[in-house]
Structures are given as C-alpha cells and as structure tokens.
C-alpha cells in the first residue's frame, strides 16, 4: 500500500500547515479531513524515484549529461 503525504489547510493566515503521512490503497479517495482533528486537508504531490539510464536521450537527460560532462 502506498504512503501519501497530506497537509492541513489553515483557516487562519497566521497558522502553518501541518504535514502527515497515511497509508491508503490507490483506489481510495483522497482524504478531505484530518483523521484525528477533522481539519480540512489536501494531498501533497511529492517526488518519486527517478532512474536515469546511461543511454537516455538528450531530450530527457539533464543538462550536464546532455553535454557529456557527467556521463561516461
């Protein structure tokens, strides 16, 4: 089961959002409220794992690899 990151949506502009993680099935709807406090929440889009290939095309490679300075 994947772990999703959520953050609270502050009602007051001086309040900071609080982040938390929760395990959910991919088919589950995103949470709308914090399970403990009932505050409104939104899902945070977090980066995943990226695997770069030595033979990556220059269109998908980073600028250093397309220039050849970091690829062998």
Give the pair of three-digit tokens for residue 62: 């980073």
Hunting for tokens 């088919």 — which residue is that? 27
pLDDT at position 10, please? 94
What confidence score (pLDDT) does residue 23 get? 95
Nearest Cα residue to 2 out of 52, 51, 50, 46: 46
CA atoms within 13 A on the CB side of 35: 9
**CA pair distance 16, 27, nearest whole angstrom:** 30
pLDDT of residue 50: 64
Spell out, as residue ranges, where the chain has pLDDT lower than 50: 61
| Residue-level pLDDT at 15 | 92
Predicted pLDDT of residue 54: 65
What's the pTM?
Answer: 0.62
Measured from the Cβ of residue 16, the count of other Cβ atoms closer than 10 Å reads 9
**Residues written for the chain:** 72
């Amino acid at each position: 089961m994947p772990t999703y990151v959520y953050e609270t949506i502050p009602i007051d502009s001086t309040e900071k959002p609080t982040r938390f993680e929760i395990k959910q099935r991919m088919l589950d709807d995103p949470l709308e409220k914090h399970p403990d406090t009932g505050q409104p929440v939104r899902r945070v889009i977090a980066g995943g794992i990226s695997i770069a290939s030595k033979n990556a095309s220059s269109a998908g490679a980073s600028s250093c690899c397309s220039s050849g300075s970091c690829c062998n």
